[in-house]
């Protein structure tokens, strides 16, 4: 087991199981997340026999950064994992803090037609320690403090539910990375049963739904997941999530030239979302060399935005980050295959 993938609760159970006081879990978390030691020997307030037990029971391995690219305020990090598989994370520097987009799987089985990351079928889930490791290694390499996290890199987070939830608990823990729940965003393409499951947890994180189409016919063409969980089922789950958590949901909508960017589709989208506590995040498409879709023209994006505003839908246009280094939304793994 890796120490970076264990929650406070599980670490407390571990210590009780070896006949120690559970407060030692907090001591260990403070050493590794606040003081940033990287060996058990450095935990000076833990007795030697416990240190030896920890060394035999836990690994301290972190993913290795093997490539780092920069584009203005955006940096992309390529990680190699213990089994030589690779994933990417993207650091975005804002005037209000630093955000890291982390990956949750090696590959992705969702098969969204416009997404580069999904061209590689899912090989395996990332362990929670490998997700936490992306943050720790980026902070160490870049020298910045990560203030917000988006689980929006390679993979579908809700298809790796248990590890992702442990990851959230670890980075949110006041004795862990202490990243506030409202600074953590989970993005999903819409696995309905897991949305219901997520709504039952006492987490105040942000939920972002990759919508990308206003009707079932188009969404099923773009996103195979819609065949399993069509829009009527998905919207019921979203309403339930909002009701139980009292949290607003972000609707992500990537604009594809001549595919989903017409004024008629904007009106249709507004009808789908009217009355829900949501806002729409319009995403200019980031083109790649492997996929035929094209970016909507600026005037088309602006017209789509204006149509939603006139329909009283809260909407923003996402600022573009990192397209020059294939670090933008939907571009991860476009070169490192």
Set out the domains of the chain in order of their start, with CATH numbers.
3-57 (1.10.150.530), 64-325 (3.20.20.70)
133: enclosing H helix or E strand = helix 128-142
CA distances from 229 to 41, 138, 216, 225, 291 (A): 50, 36, 10, 6, 25
Residue 312 CB neighbour total at 10 angstroms: 8
Angle at CA 54, nearest 5°, toward 48 and 55? 90
* Residues 12-24: tens digit of each pLDDT: 999 999 999 999 9
Do 77 and 134 contact (CB within 8 A), yes or no?
yes
In this predicted structure, the answer to whether residue 285 has a pLDDT above a threshold of 60 is: yes
**Higher per-residue confidence, 119 vs 226:** 226
Do 331 and 288 contact (CB within 8 A), yes or no?
yes
In this predicted structure, the answer to whether residue 289 has a pLDDT above a threshold of 70 is: no
320 Cβ contact list (under 8 Å, min separation 6): 284, 286, 328
Global pTM reads 0.93
Do 183 and 148 contact (CB within 8 A), yes or no?
yes
In this predicted structure, the answer to whether residue 259 has a pLDDT above a threshold of 80 is: yes
Query: Phi, psi (5° rounding) for residue 218?
Result: -75, -40
30 Cβ contact list (under 8 Å, min separation 6): 175
Do 185 and 149 contact (CB within 8 A), yes or no?
yes
Residue 40 is given by DSSP the state G
Burial group, residue 239, by CB count within 10 angstroms (0-12, 13-18, 19+)? middle
Active-site residue list: 88, 329
Pairwise CA distance, residues 74 & 90, whole Å:
7
* Residues 33-55: tens digit of each pLDDT: 999 999 999 999 999 999 999 99
Residues in the chain: 337
């Amino acid at each position: 087991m890796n120490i970076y993938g264990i929650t406070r609760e599980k670490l407390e159970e571990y210590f009780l199981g070896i006949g120690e006081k559970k407060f030692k879990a907090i001591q260990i978390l403070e050493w590794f997340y606040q003081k940033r030691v990287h060996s058990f020997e450095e935990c000076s307030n833990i007795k030697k026999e416990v240190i030896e037990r920890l060394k035999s029971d836990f690994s301290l391995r972190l993913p290795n950064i093997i490539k780092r690219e920069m584009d203005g305020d955006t940096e992309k990090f390529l990680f190699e994992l213990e089994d030589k598989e690779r994933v990417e994370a993207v650091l975005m520097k804002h005037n209000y803090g630093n955000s890291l987009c982390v990956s949750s799987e090696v590959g992705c089985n969702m098969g969204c037609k416009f997404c580069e990351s999904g061209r590689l079928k899912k090989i395996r889930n990332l362990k929670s320690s490998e997700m936490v490791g992306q943050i720790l290694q980026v902070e160490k390499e870049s020298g910045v403090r990560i203030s917000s996290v988006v689980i929006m890199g390679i993979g579908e987070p809700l298809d790796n539910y248990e590890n992702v939830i442990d990851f959230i608990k670890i980075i949110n823990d006041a004795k862990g990375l202490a990243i506030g729940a409202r600074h953590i965003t989970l993005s999903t393409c819409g696995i309905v049963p897991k949305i219901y499951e997520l709504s039952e947890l006492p987490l105040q994180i942000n939920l972002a739904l990759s919508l990308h189409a206003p009707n079932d016919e188009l969404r099923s063409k773009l996103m195979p997941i819609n065949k399993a969980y069509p829009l009527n089922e998905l919207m019921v789950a979203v309403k339930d999530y909002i009701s139980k958590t009292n949290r607003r949901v972000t609707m992500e909508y990537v604009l594809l030239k001549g595919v989903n960017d017409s004024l008629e589709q904007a009106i249709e989208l507004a009808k789908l979302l009217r009355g829900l506590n949501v806002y729409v995040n319009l995403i200019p498409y980031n083109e790649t060399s492997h996929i035929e879709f094209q970016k909507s023209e600026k005037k088309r994006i602006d017209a789509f935005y204006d149509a939603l505003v006139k329909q009283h839908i809260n909407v923003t246009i996402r600022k573009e980050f990192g397209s020059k280094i294939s670090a933008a939304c939907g571009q991860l793994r476009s070169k490192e295959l």
